[in-house]
Structure 1
Amino acid sequence: MSAIGMEQRGAPRHRVFKHGTLAIPGGGVVDCTVRNISTTGARVDVDSPVGLPDIVTLMISTDHFVRQCRRVWCNDNRIGLAFD
């Protein structure tokens, strides 16, 4: 298989469609939709990434999931997060 067709991430991601929230240091939360997730990170969709800091906490209440993470990329309303 060519390098182009191979997974480039540290861990394979699994497609999901879950409601989540991004907690902002100092208070406040932003609703998001988790689109894929792995042991090392996730991709989420938000209404607008404007004003969202680089460090947030991703929470998925149905899974009792809480992880501090940092933004590694942003494209329109899509955000790539790496778990700390």
Structure 2
Amino acid sequence: MDERRRVGRARVLKTGRIAVSEKAPKIECAVRNISDAGACLQVHSGTFGIPREFDLVMEGGLRHPCRVVWRTESRLGVSFG
């Protein structure tokens, strides 16, 4: 498979939370790789029902607005911005 990313990603294993709205419960996820442009998220409860746009809240309160680029049953590829 050809690499289509503009920026390479670093492998990591960090805890994150998907924030759909301020009032909705946050969805736990694991950040599998990350760059300045995006990330791969593993969602243990499954990706069904997660909207195309949301905020990723990472350890230390770092928050990234995300747009889903691809999805499988348990993973999301997102771009930041």
Query: Percent of aligned pairs with the same residue?
Result: 34
Larger radius of gyration: 1
Q: Could you tell me how far 1:40 is from its partner in structure 2?
A: 0.3
Distance 1:74 1:59 in 2: 19
TM-score normalised according to structure 1 size: 0.84
Aligned residues: 79
Q: Which residue of 1 aligns with 2:5?
A: 9
Distance 1:68 1:27 in 2: 16
Residue 49 of structure 1 is aligned with which of 47, 66, 69?
Answer: 47
TM-score normalised according to structure 2 size: 0.87
4+ residue stretches of structure 1 with deviation over 4 A? none
- Unmatched segments (≥5 aa) in structure 1: none
The alignment's C-alpha RMSD in Å is 1.6
Q: Which residue of 1 aligns with 2:63?
A: 66
Q: Which residue of 2 aligns with 1:78?
A: 75
Q: Which residue of 2 aligns with 1:23?
A: 19
Match of 1:35, SS state, is strand
Q: Could you tell me how far 1:28 is from its partner in structure 2?
A: 2.5
Distance 1:55 1:28 in 2: 15
